[in-house]
Structure 1
Amino acid sequence: MEVLTSRILLTSSDPAALTDFYRDRLGLAIAREYPGGVVFHAGTSHIEIPAHMPPGQSGGDTLWLQVRDIRSERDRLAADGVPIGSEPETKPWGLVEMSISDPDGRTIIIVEIPADHPLRRDQRPPAQT
């Protein structure tokens, strides 16, 4: 399978509130709007809120969003009234993570990758000259 692009579809009993949260609270840029839905940019992926689809079970849905500065994002979100589920902390695997929830109760993990973390370093052996 060759995947050319991807997106996460988040259904909701209140698509307008969910759209407001991702647009106004998280500040995600809109990639496309269409009658009955909106698609947001989310790094190299997209988040779509299809108002024309019925809500599903949100219990297993989790979003993972990488940011440059988790502490300033935490302060910005808290100032905008977004409840912080867990404060930023360095996890045993080396990532700095915090969590919030969207209006439908989906967990959103906000992540900062420290400069010295293996995800930020080139793991290839040095080029031979």
Structure 2
Amino acid sequence: MEILASRVLFRPADYRRSVEFYRDEVGLAIAREYGAGTVFYAGQSLIELAGHGAPTEGTPPFPGALWLQVRDVYATQTELEGRGVPIAREARQEPWGLHELHVTDPDGVTLIFVQIPEMHPLRRDTRND
């Protein structure tokens, strides 16, 4: 099997509210609008909000979290606060070395904004360590 592309697909409870959140509050650029949905750029991935269908009743729309790498998580927090986005958990360095900031979308999906420090193993070749 060959995977040609991938994206995360959400079926939000309130499509318009979710589009406003990702476009206006988080500030993601639109990759494509197709009448029944909107696709956003998210680094090397895409986030699609479907305006058709419905979320499954009684279950969370997405059981995990979105991991979004940024250059400066503290500047990202300031930018989001300036747009009025509530911060679920302020930016801080985690015991595993990453700097993380948590925000929750209108359907309860956690967005984890991550800054990877220069010397973290994710940013260097550890094959010879």
**What SS does the aligned partner of 2:91 have?**
strand
Question: What does the per-residue CA deviation read over 1:78-125, in whole Å, with 9 as the maximum and x for residues that have no partner?
Answer: 121111111111111111011010111111111000111111112344
Tell me the residue number matched to 1:69: 72
**Structure 2: gaps of 5 or more residues:** none
Does 2:41 correspond to 1:41? Answer: yes
RMSD value, Cα: 1.3
Structure 1 residues 87 and 46, CA, compared in 2 at 3 Å: closer, same or farther? same
Runs of 4+ that moved beyond 6 A: none
Does 2:83 correspond to 1:84? Answer: no
| Matched residue count | 125
Percent sequence identity over aligned pairs: 50
Tell me the residue number matched to 2:114: 111
Structure 1 residues 59 and 38, CA, compared in 2 at 3 Å: closer, same or farther? closer
Of the two, which has the highest radius of gyration? Answer: 1
The 2-side partners of 1:33 and 1:88 are apart by: 32
**Structure 1: gaps of 5 or more residues:** none
- 1:87 aligned partner, one-letter code: E
The 2-side partners of 1:43 and 1:98 are apart by: 17
- TM-score of the aligned structures, taking structure 2 as reference length: 0.90
